[in-house]
Chain A
Amino acid sequence: MKEIFSISGIDIFQREFNQIMIRGNEHNQLNQIVNKEVSLNLPDKNLQIINNDNILIARHSFDQWNLIYFNDQNYRDVLKLVSNLNSNNQVCASDYSYGQVYFDISGEKKNYYLNKLTHFDLRLKKFPVNTMAQTLIARIDCSIYHLKEKYIITCNKSFEDYFTQRLADSINL
């Protein structure tokens, strides 16, 4: 965990998570596979999140989910899960672990701060806890997950330097 910025009302940390992108149409079948592996059900509503202390599963669209491990996970285990999921020929699972970067943003001013970088409506009534969205933040395609009292933001790793600099720049200005 790397601190990007921590001042009154806003804390930003870069985290190292593992992630799997899952695509498939057979919800029940897929749910059984995933549930067997991680003991969590796939959310059935678009943009909904289901999570426990270790794992988050979000539904991006009608046939797309992603699974994020919050805690240190043996990489071989992650790849094994990808392989297990892919053993079903109606599922496409891809390892997204190190191709993405993860930012943990918390603090009472997090909305004010993030709205310097995104037009997205972060108000609780429009973006409730346990929902996610894909939107532009600092002009970069990001996923934002609303967990209790914090956001997890992910974007492609290639944007890491630019995105981190924009985060710090927005705090400074």
Chain B
Amino acid sequence: MTALNNNKNSRVTDSNKVSFIFDGKKYFGFDGDTIASALLRNNIKIIGRSFKYHRPRGIYTCGIEEPNALVQILSEKDEPNTRATVKKIYSGIKILSQNRWPSLKNDFGYINNLLSPIFSAGFYYKTFMGPKGFWKNIYEPLIRRSAGLGKPPKEFRSKSIHHHHNVDIVIVGAGLNGLLAASKFIDTDYDVLILEQDNILGGSLNSSQKIKTIDNLDTHVWTKKTEDLLKKSKNIKILKNTLATSYNQINHIIALEDNSVGKPLASHKPELILHKIRTKHTILSNGHIERLISFRNNDLPGIMLAGSFEKYIFRYGVIPEAEPIIFTNNSSTFSLLKSLVDLGCKPKAYIDVRDESSIEKKTKTILKTNKIPFYFSSEIEGCDGNKKLETISIRNKEKQIEKISGTMLCISGGINPDVHLFTQSKGLIKWDEKYLTFKPETAFQNTITIGSANGSFNFKRIIEEINEKLSLFNINELKIDLEIDCPEDLNIMELWETNNEKKSFWSKSFIDIQNDVTTKDLHQAVSEGFDRIEHLKRFTTNSMGTDQGKISSINSLGIVSKILKKNISEVGTTIYRPPYAPLSFSAIAGRSTYEFYDPTRKTSIHSWHVKNRAIFEDVGQWKRPWYFKKNDKETMYEAVQRESKELRNAAGILDGSTLGKIEIKGKDALEFVNLIYTNAFTKMKPMTARYALMLGEDGMIKDDGIVCKINDQHFIVTTTTGGAAKVLSDMEEYAQTEWPHLNVYLNSITEQFSTFNISGPKSRAIMRKVFSDVDFSNDKFPFMSFKKVNYLDTEVRILRASFTGELGYEVYVTPKYGLELWEKFFRYGENLGLIPYGTETMHLLRAEKGYIVVGQDTDGTVTPLDLNLNWMIGKNKKDFIGKRSLSRSDTSRKGRKQLVGILAVDKSKIIEEGQHVVKSSSIPSKIKFPVKYLGHITSSYHSPTLNHYIAMAMVEGGNDLIGKKLYVTQNKSSENISVEIVKPVFLDPENKRLLS
């Protein structure tokens, strides 16, 4: 038999024909079809090959729960693992079946099915144990190559976006219950957001005939009318094609909107929108999921869930088969039976595991009237067929096997409320013995479950339930009449698995169709001791596919409970974790990709740097010039050597705007600064500055900077670039929580000043030209003093300080004039040899002088004493952060790692940063005993001024080793470099340059 179109009462009609390509062949469907409905319309039943055994697979469901029909969309950047049951077709869409080679019909991988008797549960764990080295080199690459279904796209630049919502109520699911609930909020003060995964509202009203009329209106008419009212209501917003995927803490819901349903991806629009919703209350009306029954070869193409079959008829207008066979253990299949008969189709047989007396009269009447073969107290033993369903074996009430031919089997093993989101929200569920399913029991958040999502399967009680559950909102009562045409009760009988008569290695009774897990695997897992459901899940991979076992996880619990002879409630349930359905990484990332990956910060001079060939370094979020290329051929090494040499010979200017700057003011500012830093500031004269250290409470160096004292009530301090925010927040915390009695206030002024560091022997001459009114002589402007100077309509602060060891100045100016002043320096300084230099050159220059960089030469375990910075500690100060810790036995002991200089005996040798300082001249090729290492290299550079490498290291007892010989390891050799331990000041130890 072939598929038929239902043009009578479906939501997809044959008015608009759409062509599409499947596995290279052109087919036609209708506008609104999913890939699955269009393929069924074309009588295509095999859609793909299974994950492990490469068995032919068809379409099992009609929605998000689909385990089988996953395809690759070639026309959408090769998007893999797309659910054919959800994805809508459009003209020209190119679809490829997955996990087969060379073709869907003849798949080489089917050999796995022939070998399947050895691929039982735990096969990988037991098999790939040896020989040693095989896992890494043979097994893992092989398994990785053959694993997975679709192939991930190689190039794909996403345009997904995020959208935030703050509402009072979210309604998940706009089926009958969702619409009824939403209609209560029309024109109220509540902000309501409705999420519907389909592109039309109505849910089950579109997929069955269980409700005939609502308020005497045809269900489609009522749905349309309700939707219009909701749209007109200013407080209600509807998001279609939007699937709620995660329900997080504090009523935070994530929902994914597919922005290109039924149309090709637009180049200028986002394909996915991730909605991040904060709500006060959540109403879950997201319905239910039908479950399967396990029997021999229950995976053959042609087997489908009964509810899904019915949905294809009414939602998509395709009757996949005019004479299907129906197999059930409950009354939900009445609706399908009646619908088929009403449409003039006649099921080939109706098989019900229940005894005749348990089956409602209406069903029996239809069966009798239409002379449909009826098997009560019967079950399906198994199915057979070559790549598709051909024969069905029925175990009748006399326990005899009867065979009937058929190409389509509709099964129903019962109904599960869709509790995924409810359990994600930490709601508790409880086993219901009447409906044989887990139902929501206790909400953990402001969550209300209604309809079948709540396990309420009786349509007659809908209105009463909604009025009762939404009564807390004090809104109008619903008064709506429903005309119902289905049994009131589900009247389900327990059946998870039927007995298998045919003993064959290749006949399998599947429990997890996507992951190829069989009921035999469950038995084996339990017999091997994996009797906890969480362990069993991981051992067998049951429910671990992309469908999360939506149609089968309860069945596996049922089977395990039988094996263990326990109640299901005693066996427990796995926790459903977000996301509800697979979520692409592009949706999660949103716009935080490529150029927007991380916010970037630029100084006011950035454009000049770009024009002048700066290569940038990321320091936190800042873009800092690393070095400036003189020409395209110049390497970083050459540029840094050049910049260093030219600065020491003439002058260089660095954009130091990124340094943190904090203004400290208040009556008690002096006391505050004294407490924050190790140095003593009480006797410090106004308008002078000091290099200062900030410690943690453990006595370790946290940050450094320069403290400028305007007066005892007013200081301006600088911090490292990366430490700025943390230092300010720590200062604020101390001011507010530890020393609230101090009158002191802090403002971050990092952004309020562009900062330039001008150094080199010619820097004074340049400063004189730029600020002609200022006396820069040593007497009038000594080292570590600062002045405020008028500049245009503002003031510039000039500080004499240096991080290069040369005569130097720091200039602070409002960003308004940053670029202008920078360019002025070059106008006046170019003839004097002024060059721009970057952070790498700065690092080299400071290392020559033995200045440390916090975070490079320190690592959170270094005290000022370790760096021989004892002079920076105000010994007479009553207190400062970390003071007590500096006298602890560990921080004051001898033999701590101390900062030293390192020079190679053969000065042409390169000493690498991070290498170990050791006593031995080589590292044995086979290390039998741990090699004692004394310390590590923290900084290493080639000094163009000294013409050899210099390095700094933290070495155990370093101060006592000055003049001694040790060794430094190498990356690519077991031979160590012979080095001499020296003082860590390589250039101008007398400070002649600095104070010139």
Contacts and interface: CB of A to CB of B under 8 A. Distances in A.
B166 A99 contact: no
A24 B749 CA distance: 17
A120 B959 CA distance: 56
A75 B161 contact: no
Interface stretch (A2-10, A33-41, A43-51, A156-164): A156-164
Nearest to B657: A158
Interface string A147-162: 0000000001111111
B751 A99 contact: yes
Interface in B582-636: 591-592, 595-596, 599-604, 606, 622
Contacts of B990: none
Given A91-B665, A92-B663, A119-B276, A173 B602 contact: no
Interface of B: 159, 161-166, 191, 268-270, 276, 278, 591-592, 595-596, 599-604, 606, 622, 663-667, 713-714, 743, 745-747, 749-753, 793-795, 814-816
A92 B592 contact: no
B750 to A, nearest CB: 8
Nearest to B606: A161
A74 interface: yes
A96 to B, nearest CB: 6
A118 interface: yes
A92 B606 CA distance: 30
A123 B234 CA distance: 13
Given A95-B752, A156-B751, A123 B745 contact: no
Contact of A115 (B164, B664, B793, B814): B164
B191 A158 contact: no
A99 B793 CA distance: 16
A106 to B, nearest CB: 20
A50 B632 CA distance: 55
A86 to B, nearest CB: 7
Contacts of B753: 99
A156 B603 CA distance: 11
* Residue of A94, A99, A158, A160 ringed by the most chain B CB atoms within 10 A: A158
B815 A157 contact: yes
The 4 closest A-B pairs by CB, nearest first: A99-B751, A92-B745, A158-B601, A92-B665
> Chain A: interface secondary structure?
mixed
Nearest to A83: B795
B815 A99 contact: yes
A121 B602 CA distance: 29
B784 to A, nearest CB: 23
* Residue of B604, B747, B749, B815 ringed by the most chain A CB atoms within 10 A: B747
Interface of A: 21, 23-25, 63, 74-76, 79, 86, 89-92, 94-100, 115-116, 118-123, 126, 138-140, 156-163, 165-166, 169-170, 172-173
B520 to A, nearest CB: 49
A104 B746 CA distance: 28
A172 B268 contact: yes
Contacts of B600: 159, 161-162
Nearest to A77: B793
A158 B749 contact: no
A157 B751 contact: yes
Contacts of B816: 75, 97-98
A13 to B, nearest CB: 19
B815 A23 contact: no
A156 B750 CA distance: 9
Nearest to A169: B591
A90 B591 contact: no
Contact of B596 (A79, A90, A165): A165
B793 A100 contact: no
A89 B166 contact: no
* Residue of A21, A74, A94 ringed by the most chain B CB atoms within 10 A: A94
> Chain B: interface secondary structure?
mixed
Given A74-B793, A119-B164, A121-B278, A92 B749 contact: no
A73 B539 CA distance: 72
B557 to A, nearest CB: 38
B599 A25 contact: no
Contacts of B606: 161
30 contacts: A23-B747, A25-B743, A75-B793, A75-B794, A75-B816, A79-B795, A92-B664, A92-B665, A92-B666, A94-B752, A96-B752, A97-B814, A98-B816, A99-B750, A99-B814, A99-B815, A115-B165, A116-B163, A116-B164, A120-B164, A121-B278, A123-B191, A139-B592, A156-B750, A158-B602, A158-B622, A160-B602, A161-B606, A163-B599, A173-B591
Contacts of A97: 752, 814, 816
B28 to A, nearest CB: 33
Contacts of A138: 599
Contacts of A162: 596, 599-601
B692 to A, nearest CB: 19
Contacts of A118: 164
B255 to A, nearest CB: 14
Contacts of B746: 23, 92
A74 B166 CA distance: 41
B584 to A, nearest CB: 16
Contact of A63 (B191, B592, B664, B745): B745
A23 to B, nearest CB: 4
A99 B599 contact: no
A89 B666 contact: yes
* Residue of B166, B596, B600 ringed by the most chain A CB atoms within 10 A: B166
Contacts of A121: 166, 278
A139 B749 contact: no
A25 B489 CA distance: 70
A76 B793 CA distance: 6
Contact of B751 (A25, A100, A123): A100
A25 B745 CA distance: 9
Contacts of B664: 92
Contacts of A76: 793-794
A140 B725 CA distance: 13
Nearest to B603: A158
A89 B276 contact: no
B602 A161 contact: yes
A95 B665 contact: no
A90 B751 contact: no
Contact of A159 (B599, B714, B794): B599
Given A97-B816, A169-B596, 11 more contacts: A76-B794, A79-B794, A91-B665, A96-B752, A99-B749, A121-B166, A123-B191, A158-B601, A161-B600, A161-B606, A166-B591
Nearest to B813: A98
Contacts of B749: 94, 99
